Amino acid sequence: MKWYENAVFYHIYPLGLTDAPKNNDYQITEHRLNQLGPWIKHIKEIGCNALYIGPLFESVGHGYETTDYYKLDSRLGDNEDLKKFIQDCHYHGIHVIFDGVFNHTGRDFFAFKDIQQNREGSQYRDWYCNVNFQGNNEYNDGFSYDNWGGYNLLVKLNQHNPAVRQYLLDVVKYWVSEFDVDGIRLDAADVLDFGFMHELRMLTNDIKPDFWLMGEVIHGDYSRWVNDDMLHSVTNYQLYKALYSGHNEHNYFEIAHTVRHLLDKGNLPYHLYNFADNHDVERIYTRLHNKQKFVPLHILMYTLPGIPSIYYGSEFGIEGGKEKHSDAVLRPAIHLEDYKNAVNENGCTNIIARLGEIRQKNPVFADGIYQEIRLTNRQYAFSRTNETTQAIVVVNNDEADSSLEIPANGTYTEVLSGEVQNVNGNLNIYLRACSGQIWIRNYDETVAKKKEVKILETKQAEVKEEIIKQATINHSKSYEEMSIEELQACVLEKLAKNGPVTEQMKRDVVNNVYYDSLVNWVKSFRN
């Protein structure tokens, strides 16, 4: 089994965690990356064995406007700091993957600065897409160009240019030889050139056979990216959405349907990168209406097909709501000493640590075949079966206790509590409210009794109609001419024509403050 097949990831956004300045003046090197040393022990303690960290390399702001792919961001330190950090991770059995921002660069990147200086005479004029010297932009460059997401700060690279492709491939070679990195998360992989991704896969297969490529893909048929010619994995945004809304709306059908839909592509879901939140979306603890559902949600994330990941701080149950024009609240500085005994005192940390240990000790959750057993709106049971054992997972999103009988034979151990049943026909399960259980057949060790820490019941206030900004919609405008508020109002209007609009649906609209996303969303309706 390859290391990434049984990985449990921890995700760090280092500029935020280390409280680096929002802007980089390139003048001073501050060795903030060295603050992460104690986090290695924490990562191990909560049952993670892999780390996705990034963005890391020199940039002017949030990290995704790269200005030098060969140099650690000076707000974090120097390349020796990064080498030592990765060596320490490897020493403790933690594989490390970097953020690879290859779709675009920042405006301080050497090739773009050469175009600014030499214009039509620049040897790099074809390194970017659609550079037009008859146009202009808000920076008054005297030329225009394609960007990412409508932001001219992020200049789109021309990956059809062989020189650009070779430059980026050389960067990856350097990262492997200099830092011994184990993989890359490709930023904005849904708009990267497929030919480039194929070349990258062939290169990494040669230079480090167990190198892992994971792409950020939000929409689309994941199998276009995840195959033997392209990437090993992509971000599973389909399951991400189903996990929180399935619990908030008492709708396990949504989660089970998502798994079934992905299984229609063959073994695809077994390779996907599963998460409950990340640096771009609202914290799961904020998004959940009933905080106790943190438990069944994460039981599913750790036991359904796929590779689980925890975003730094979410194991403590920290809050973080999406804000307009800034993601800073999603990427906060955290002081680990504030959570010294969290595994034994914090209900969220407690369940994450226990699930991490269970996942790593039981390969059936990496390679076991998924089979749905029981499904209602509020209870869900499935099995994972490999050549050596079977696991049965049951979860309850109801605020009331529930009892289930699951067909089974043999001796089963519930690995969260240590309960053992010798089963001849049916496994008898009593589920407490907002909980779950994990039963493994012929479990070959005694479950260590660990203190279970409860998550206090707190419910999120309902979103009232009056707090949703309902802009007056001018239907004579095209969607591209509308403001964010007008587009949000249009989406709500379209949703209402299709049926009842739930509280979660209202939150999803209000929290979406991205112009391109809202335009695509409103255009997706047929009515």
SS (H, E, C) 422-453: EEEEEEEEEECCCEEEEEEECCCCCCCCCCCC
Residue 246 domain-assigned? no
* Domain, as residue range, for 399: 367-441
Residue 395 domain-assigned? yes
Residue 251 domain-assigned? no
Q: Are 522 and 491 in contact (CB under 8 A)?
A: yes
Looking at the structure, do residues 34 and 182 belong to the same domain, yes or no? yes
CATH number, residue 416: 2.60.40.1180
Looking at the structure, do residues 14 and 150 belong to the same domain, yes or no? no
Residue 142 domain-assigned? yes
Integer Cα distance of 191 and 392 in angstroms? 39
Looking at the structure, do residues 49 and 12 belong to the same domain, yes or no? yes
CATH number, residue 138: 3.90.400.10
Last residue in a domain, options 210, 235, 260: 235
Looking at the structure, do residues 384 and 507 belong to the same domain, yes or no? no
pLDDT number for residue 462:
47
Residue 471 domain-assigned? yes
Residue 265 domain-assigned? no
Q: Are 427 and 416 in contact (CB under 8 A)?
A: no
Q: pLDDT 10s per residue in the chain (527 long)? A: 899 999 999 999 999 999 999 999 999 999 999 999 999 999 999 999 999 999 999 999 999 999 999 999 999 999 999 999 999 999 999 999 999 999 999 999 999 999 999 999 999 999 999 999 999 999 999 999 999 999 999 999 999 999 999 999 999 999 999 999 999 999 999 999 999 999 999 999 999 999 999 999 999 999 999 999 999 999 999 999 999 999 999 999 999 999 999 999 888 999 999 999 999 999 999 999 999 999 999 999 999 999 999 999 999 999 999 887 788 999 999 999 999 999 999 999 999 999 999 999 999 999 999 999 999 999 999 999 999 999 999 999 999 999 999 999 999 999 999 999 999 999 999 999 999 999 999 998 777 656 677 786 654 444 444 444 556 788 888 888 888 888 888 888 888 887 888 777 787 788 777 666 677 677 777 66
pLDDT number for residue 463:
47
CA atoms within 13 A of residue 83's CA, in its CB half-sphere? 11
Looking at the structure, do residues 83 and 206 belong to the same domain, yes or no? yes
Integer Cα distance of 366 and 303 in angstroms? 8
Looking at the structure, do residues 41 and 171 belong to the same domain, yes or no? yes
CATH number, residue 174: 3.20.20.80
Residue 375 domain-assigned? yes
Looking at the structure, do residues 174 and 220 belong to the same domain, yes or no? yes
Looking at the structure, do residues 53 and 94 belong to the same domain, yes or no? yes
Looking at the structure, do residues 144 and 230 belong to the same domain, yes or no? no
Beta strand spans in 158-302 (E) = 183-186, 212-215, 233-234, 273-275
Looking at the structure, do residues 179 and 230 belong to the same domain, yes or no? yes
pLDDT number for residue 41:
97
pLDDT number for residue 467:
42
Number of domains in the chain: 4
Pairing of strands 379-385, 369-375: antiparallel
Integer Cα distance of 401 and 437 in angstroms? 13
Q: From residue 123, give the alpha-carbon distance in Å to each of 114, 128, 136, 165, 503.
A: 8, 11, 20, 15, 54
What are the structure tokens assigned to 20, written together?
Answer: 């680096």
Residue 470 domain-assigned? yes
375 pairs with which residues across the strands?
Answer: 380
Looking at the structure, do residues 136 and 188 belong to the same domain, yes or no? no
Q: Are 276 and 333 in contact (CB under 8 A)?
A: no
Q: Which of 298, 308, 296, 436 is nearest to 366 (CA)?
A: 308
CB environment 484-508: b (16+ within 10 A), e (fewer): bbbbbbbbbbbbeeeeebeebbbbb
Last residue in a domain, options 123, 139, 157: 157
Q: Are 505 and 499 in contact (CB under 8 A)?
A: no
Helix (H) or strand (E) holding 516, with range, is helix 515-523
Last residue in a domain, options 203, 235, 267: 235
Beta strand spans in 239-291 (E) = 273-275
Looking at the structure, do residues 142 and 44 belong to the same domain, yes or no? no
pLDDT number for residue 224:
96
Backbone angles phi, psi at 307, to 5 degrees: -110, 115
Ramachandran bin of 376, using left for φ above 0, alpha for ψ from -120 to 50, beta for the remaining angles: beta
Residue 386 burial class via C-beta count within 10 angstroms: exposed 0-12, middle 13-18, buried 19 and up: middle
Count Cβ atoms below 10 Å from residue 120 Cβ, excluding itself. 9
Integer Cα distance of 427 and 421 in angstroms? 7
Backbone angles phi, psi at 438, to 5 degrees: -130, 110
**What is the amino acid identity at position 112?**
F
